[in-house]
Amino acid sequence: MEYRIALLPGDGIGPEIVANSKKILSKLVENYALNLQITEVEAGDSALAKYGDPLPKQTLDIINKSHIILKGPVGESAMDVVVKLRQMYDMYANIRPAKSLPNVPNKYGNVDILIVRENTEDLYKGFEFMLSDDTSIGIKVITKKASERIVKVALKYALERNKKITCVHKANVMRITDGLFSRVCKEILKGSEVKFEEMYVDAAAANLVRDPSRFDVIVTTNVYGDILSDEAAQIAGSLGLAPSANIGDSKALFEPVHGAAFDIAGKNIANPTAFLLSVSMMLDYIYSLSKEIKYKNASNALQNAIYEVYKEGKTLTPDIGGSAKLTDFIDAIYSKIA
């Protein structure tokens, strides 16, 4: 079967990262006979400037017909692109690995945490209004259904990892909303095969700094997940290296966690690692759909090539202390793809 991918280069460093990464994607397609049909579409600040809409109709038409969205970083219109897409296609599970890479300095040694962030509700619903000139209101929504399905996703990942889940909330203050989330965690995880603990979000933010090795899988609601996943990625080495998957029952979106970094755009020094690791997550996802082992093999080949280039440490980009260009880094990975 052919997998249709809508490719959104995005803004800032997005286009150069995506343009250069295509070379690697082509090699994977060729070496592993992957059946991908990739269509490039416009979205983000540049689309907004050009069409008056950061997600123009022609882009949505392509996305509608695609199985997968692969996107680069988007600028100030990110909310109207990514948060909108997450909700529009109910891509409810935001999967965010925080994993160290060799030769990326960090203060914590080898970090390997998976954050499973609920991706459709909480204050991200966008239900907000002014009650008066002075007073604004935002609505936090937490449902049983969304909590259940995200906790089940966390359970699935934890069973493939170290079988430990930390359920993060603030049910001592938000007794009803976070209380519901906490109750669902307990209902689903008690008696399961994983070790399960609850932790208040403030304590979790401190414990990530104190001892990240105590965490395996963290499951949490949307806002806390946004904050903790950036913190955890930095603890693992650099926010700039963190990939992510947004997975729903009928569509999935893969994207780097970092932003458009306009200040270094066009200089051929951006680091495409987070995008490439997102490509690897995409290939894993296609494997989980298709059960065709070639996708898993291609994902592993890409991951291994990335790890080897980091391990050699000769061709790293300036953000992590190297002096390689984006194109040098891409060539190094290209040459290592088995």
Ligand X SMILES: CC(C)[C@H](C(=O)O)[C@@H](O)C(=O)O
| Shortest Å, Cβ 86 to ligand X | 8
| Shortest Å, Cβ 100 to a second copy | 13
Containing 252, the helix (H) or strand (E) segment is strand 252-256
Closer residue to ligand X, CB minimum distance, 172 or 323? 172
Told to check if 208 binds a second copy by CB under 8 A, we report yes
Residues 153-182 that bind a second copy (CB under 8 A): 170, 172-177, 179-180
Told to check if 78 binds a second copy by CB under 8 A, we report yes
CA distance 336 to 322: 19
Q: Which does 338 bind (CB under 5 to 8 A by kind): a second copy, ligand X, none?
A: none
Q: Which stretch binds a second copy (CB under 8 A): 23-31, 202-210, 270-278, 304-312?
A: 202-210
Told to check if 250 binds a second copy by CB under 8 A, we report no
Neighbours of 318 (CB within 10 A): 15
* β-bridge pairing 252-256 and 243-247: antiparallel
Among the listed residues 11, 226, 284, 319, the single catalytic one is 226
Q: In what order do the strands lie in the sheet with 36-40?
A: 36-40, 3-8, 68-71, 252-256, 243-247, 93-99, 112-118, 217-220, 164-169, 195-200
Catalytic, 144? Answer no
Catalytic, 251? Answer no
DSSP per-residue letters across 192-245: SSSEEEEEEHHHHHHHHHH-GGG-SEEEE-HHHHHHHHHHHHHHHT-GGG-EEE
Q: Which two tokens stand for residue 82?
A: 């990514």
Among positions 141, 192, 297, 325, the unique one binding a second copy when judged by CB under 8 A:
141
CA distance 228 to 196: 18
Catalytic, 170? Answer yes
Partners of 164 in the β-ladder: 195
The alpha carbon of 212 is separated from its chain's Cα centroid by a whole number of angstroms, namely: 19
Q: Which does 93 bind (CB under 5 to 8 A by kind): a second copy, ligand X, none?
A: none
Taking a C-beta distance cutoff of 8 angstroms, is the pair 67, 2 a contact?
Answer: no
Residues that bind ligand X (CB under 6 A): 78-79, 82-83, 172-173, 202, 226, 257
Catalytic residue positions, numbered: 124, 170, 202, 226, 230
Q: Which residues bind a second copy (CB under 8 A)?
A: 76, 78-79, 83, 107-108, 123-124, 126, 128-130, 133-145, 170, 172-177, 179-180, 201-203, 205-210, 223-224, 226-231, 233-235, 238-239
